[in-house]
Structure 1
Amino acid sequence: MDFNLPGEDDPRRIKVRKWFEENPDPTYAQLAEQGWTASNWPEPWGVGADAEMQWIIDEEIVRAGLQLPYTINAIALNQCGQSLLSYGTEAQRQKFLPGALACEEIWCMLFSEPSGGSDLGALRTTARREGDHYIVNGHKIWTSVADQASVGVLVARTDPSKPKHAGLSMFLIDMKSPGVTVNPIIDMTGNKNEYNEVFLDDVKIPADALLGKEGEGWKLTMEQLQTERVGMTKPGVVWGMGPTARDLMDGLIETGRISDPLLRDDAAKVYIEGEILRLLTYRNMTNRINGTPAGFEGSAGKMLSSPHGQRMADIAKRSQGAAGMIRDPDVLPLPDKKWGMFSNWDYAYWFSPANTLGVGTQEVLLNVVAERVLGLPRDLDPTARVPFSEISNATAKAAE
C-alpha cells in the first residue's frame, strides 16, 4: 500500500505555491476567486479538485500562514453548502455561495432543540406556509457561531400530520431577520462562547428559502451530518481539528515529561490511535478519488476520533502535574500552525467534553454503526411511523 503523498516537486504543488509567492497575504475572497476555498466543488465554485489536489491546495494554504477556509466557515464549506450544488436553485447558489466561499458570510446549523435531546427527528420548530412565505416558530440550542452567522441552515417541521422524519424541511434563513434572537451560552473556559441558543418568534421567510422540496429535510440533514462526521475522522484533538497525537508526543519528548512511565504508556496508546485515524483519513481520501460518497463509516470514524481527542487533552494537562490545575496556554510546545480556537491544549481540554456530544452522541453513533453497518436489529421506536401531531398519545400508550 502506497502512502506517499504529492511531494515538493509535484508540478501541481509548484503551480499553487507560485501563486502564493506572487500574492502574499491573500484574502479569502482572492482564494475563492481561484476556486481554492472549496477546491473539490465543481466550477465555478471550486476547481473540481480530486482528493490529492485538494490535499495540495490545503497544505499550501497552511504553508502560506493562513487558517484553512473550512475551519473558519465550516458549516458552509464542509457541511451544508454542497447541498446547494445538488438540491438548490441557481438563484440560491448565486445568493448564498459567493459570500460563503469568501468566508465573508458565516453559516450556522439550526438543528438541535432543548426538548429533543439526541432525537433530532423529534424537533418541534414549525414552518407554516402562508402564500409566498413561511412563518417560523421555535427554539434551537447548542448552535455554534450563531452569534457571528449571517445565514442559518434551519430544519423545521412543515407537516405535523406526517411521521416525525417525513414532515421536516430545510431552509436557508437570514439570521438578521426580525424575530430571530441569539443568546450566547457562556461556558467554563472563560473564552468567547462557542455555542448559542436561538429563538425564532414569528420569523417570516420567503418561500424560495426552502432548500430542495418540502419533506426532504431529514434526507438533507443526514447527508450533511455524514459529511461532517467524515470531516471529523482525523487525528486532531477536537473533532479532527487542532494538534494531533504526533504533536502531543513531540511536546512530551521536548519537555522531558515522556520519562514518566505511566504518562509514556498512555501517550503511546493515543499515538497508535492517532495513526489509525490518519489511515482512516487516507481511506476517506481514496473513497473520494474513486467517487465513493460519504457513507456510514463517517459515524464510525467520528465515534473513534471524539474520545481519542479527550484522551489526548487529558494527557497534555496531566503532564503538568499540579500546575495543570491552573490556566496555562503553553501546556506543551506546539508547532506554529493556525488551528483557530483549538490552538492550545488548555482550551482543547476544557472543550473536550463536547467531543462526544456534538454532531451525534456516542450512543447515537453506536446505534448507527450497529444497525447500518453491522446489520443488528433496530431499536424499537413506537413513534417512528406515527403522525407527529399524535406522538404524545402514542408514547403514552407504549408506556402502558
Structure 2
Amino acid sequence: MDFNFPGEDDPRRVKVRSWFEKNPNPTYAQLAAQGWTASNWPEPWGVSADAEMQWIIDEEIQRAGLELPYTINAIGLNQCGQSLLTHGTEAQRQKFLPPALACEEIWCMLFSEPSGGSDLGGLRTTAKLEGDHYIVNGHKIWTSVADHASVGVLVARTDTSKPKHTGLSMFLIDMHSPGITVNPIIDLTGNKNEYNEVFLDNVKVPADALLGREGDGWKLAIEQLQTERVGMTKPGVVWGMGPTARDLMDGLIKTGRISDPLLRDDAAKTYIEGEILRLLTYRNMSNRMNGKPAGFEGSAGKMLSSPHGQRMADIAKRSQGAAGMIRDPDVLPLPDKKWGMFSDWDYAYWFSPANTLGVGTQEVLLNVVAERVLGLPRDIDPTAKIPFSELSGGRAKAAE
C-alpha cells in the first residue's frame, strides 16, 4: 500500500478547492451537479473517481465546512443506491437518484423485524402482486431515519412456497404512502430518536418499484450490508463516524487527564486499536483502487470497530470522574469537524451500546468471519430448505 496521499499542491486538489472558492456555501444539489456527492459512481451520477480522487473530494467538502453527503443520506449514497445502479431500470434511476444525490430525499432500510431478530431471512412482511401493484403488510423495527425518510428500501416476502432466503424481494417504496405508520423509538440518550418502528398496512406499491427480479431480495440485501460494513471499518467512535482515538488522545493531553496512569494505559491500548483500524481503512482504499469489490472483510472490520468505539466513548466519559454522571456535551475538546449526530463524546457514549447490535450483531459477524473467511463449518440451519409456509405453523400462513 502507498501511504503517500495527495498533497496540498496536487493538481486535482487545487482544481476542486478552486471550485469551492468560487462557490462558497454550496448546496448539495450543486455538489451533485459536479458529480461529487457520490464521486465514485459512473457518469452522469458521479465522475468515476478512483479512490484517491474520492479522498480528495471528500477532504475538500469537509474543508469547506460541509458534512459529507454520505453521512446525511447514507442509505441512498452508500448502501443501497449502488444496487440501483447495477440492478435498477433506467426509469428507476432517473426517478430516485437525482434527489438522493442532492440529499433532498433521504432513504431508509426496511429490513429488521420484531419476530426475526438477527435472522433477516425469517422476515414475515409480505408483498402480494395484484395487477399492476403489490399489497404490502408487515412490521419493521430499528429503522434509522424512517421518521424523515422519503424512500424506503423494503425487503418483503413475495413467495411463501419457497425456502426463507429464496422467497424475498426488494422494493423502493414511497414512505409517504397511505398505510405506512412510523413511530419513533425514544432511547436513553435524551436526544432526538435515531430509530423507529414502521407499520405497513395494505400499502399499495407499484409493480415497477421492484428492484431487480422477484426472489433477488436476499442477494441484494447481503450486497448492501457488506458495503455498509466496509464503510464502518474506520476508526470513528460510532460505526466508523465521529471522533477517533487520535482525537481522544489529543483531548486527554490538552485537559491534562492523561496524567491518570490507569486512564493513560487504557487510552494507549485504544489508540493502538485506532491505528490498526486506520490501516484497515487504507487497505480497503487500496482494494478499491485496484478494482476489488467489497468482500467479507467488511464483516471483520465492523466486528473490530464496534467494540473499539465503545471503549473510546467509555474512556472519554470516565476521564471526567464523577462529573461524567451528569450530561455534559463538552466531555473532551474536539477538532472543528462535522460528523452529524456523532459530533460529541457525550452522545457517542449514550449511543455506544448500539454499536455491537446494529448492522449485524457481534455474534452474527463472528459466524460470518468463521465460515466465510476462516473456512470453518457452517452452523446447521434446519429451516434453510423448508418452504416458508411450512415454518412456525399457522403464524407464517397468517402473514399472507
The TM tier, using the shorter chain, reads over 0.9
User: 1:133 is matched with which residue?
Assistant: 133
Q: CA separation of 1:302/1:394 partners in 2, compared to 1, >3 Å: closer, same or farther?
A: farther
Counterparts of 2:80 and 2:71, CA distance in 1: 14
Residues 394, 284 of structure 1: CA spacing in aligned structure 2 closer, same or farther, 3 A cutoff?
A: farther
User: Residue 62 of structure 1 aligns with which residue?
Assistant: 62
Letter in 2 for 1:194: E
Deviation string, structure 1 residues 327-375 (Cα, Å, up to 9, x no partner): 0000000000001110110000000000000000000000000000011
Instruction: Confirm whether residue 169 of structure 1 aligns to residue 169 of structure 2.
Output: yes
Match in the other structure for 1:3? 3
Q: How far is 1:391 from its partner? A: 1.6
Residues 134-283 of structure 1 mapped to structure 2, 5 A cutoff:
134-283=134-283
Q: Tell me if the contact between 1:382 and 1:394 (Cα under 8 Å) persists in the aligned partners.
A: no
Question: What are the residue-to-residue correspondences of 1:306-321 with 2, within 5 Å?
Answer: 306-321=306-321
Output aligned runs, 1:22-33, within 5 Å: 22-33=22-33
Indicate if the aligned counterparts of 1:383 and 1:394 stay in contact, CA closer than 8 A. Answer: no
Match of 1:398 in 2: none
Query: Which amino acid counterpart does residue 17 of structure 1 have in structure 2?
Result: R
Q: Distance in 2 between matches of 1:2 and 1:11?
A: 19
The Cα shift of 1:232 comes to: 0.2
1:306-333 CA-partner distances (Å, limit 9, x unpaired): 0000000000000000000000000000
Q: Residue by residue, what CA displacement relative to the aligned partner does 1:27-78 show, whole Å, maximum 9, x if unpaired? A: 0000000000000000000000000000000000000000000000000001
Deviations 1:131-182 (A, max 9, x none): 1100000000000000000000000000000000000000000000000000
Equivalent-residue separation in structure 1 for 2:134 and 2:251 (angstroms): 54
Where do 4+ consecutive residues of structure 1 move more than 3 Å? none
Report the secondary structure of 1:171's partner residue: strand
**Partner Cα distance (1:30, 1:324) in 2:** 42
What secondary structure does 1:147 align onto? Answer: helix
- Matched position secondary structure for 1:172: strand
Q: Does 1:102 align with 2:99?
A: no
2:387 corresponds to 1:387: yes
Query: What SS does the aligned partner of 1:392 have?
Result: coil
- Residue 2 of structure 1 and its aligned partner are, at CA, apart by 3.0
Partner residue, 2:341: 341
Could you say which residue in structure 2 is the equivalent of 1:112?
112
Distance between the aligned counterparts of 1:270 and 1:285, measured in 2?
A: 23
Give CA-to-partner distance per residue, 1:231-263, whole Å, 9 cap, x none.
000000000000000000000000000000000
Aligned residue pair count: 395
5+ residue gaps in structure 1?
A: 396-400
Matched letter for residue 320 of structure 1? Q
1:290 and 1:254 map into 2 onto residues whose CA distance is 40
* Cα distance in 2 for residues equivalent to 1:117 and 1:187: 19
Q: Which structure 2 residue ranges, 5 or more long, are not aligned?
A: 396-400
Deviations 1:196-245 (A, max 9, x none): 00000000010000000000000000000000000000000000000000
Q: Percent identity, aligned pairs only?
A: 90
User: Are 1:134 and 1:207, in contact at CA under 8 Å, matched by a contact in 2?
Assistant: yes
Q: Which residue of 2 aligns with 1:287?
A: 287
Q: Secondary structure at the match of 2:147?
A: coil
- Residues 324-339 of structure 1: matches in 2 within 5 Å? 324-339=324-339
For residue 137 of structure 1, give the secondary structure of its aligned residue in structure 2: strand
Q: How does 1:37-76 map to 2 (within 5 A)?
A: 37-76=37-76
Shift of residue 393 of structure 1? 5.3
The answer to whether the 8 A contact 1:172-1:210 is kept is yes
* Distance verdict in 2 for CA 1:394–1:379, change over 3 Å: farther
In structure 2, what is the Cα distance between the partners aligned to 1:26 and 1:325? 40
Q: Secondary structure of 2:170's match?
A: strand
Question: Normalized against structure 1, the TM-score is what?
Answer: 0.98
In the TM superposition, residue 394 of structure 1 has moved relative to its aligned partner by: 12
What amino acid does structure 2 have at the position aligned with 1:94? Q
CA RMSD of aligned residues (A): 1.0
| 2:205 aligned counterpart, secondary structure | strand
Whether the aligned pair in 2 keeps the contact of 1:171 and 1:210 (CA below 8 Å) is yes
Match of 1:208, as an amino acid?
D
Is this contact kept in 2: 1:110–1:143, CA < 8 A? yes
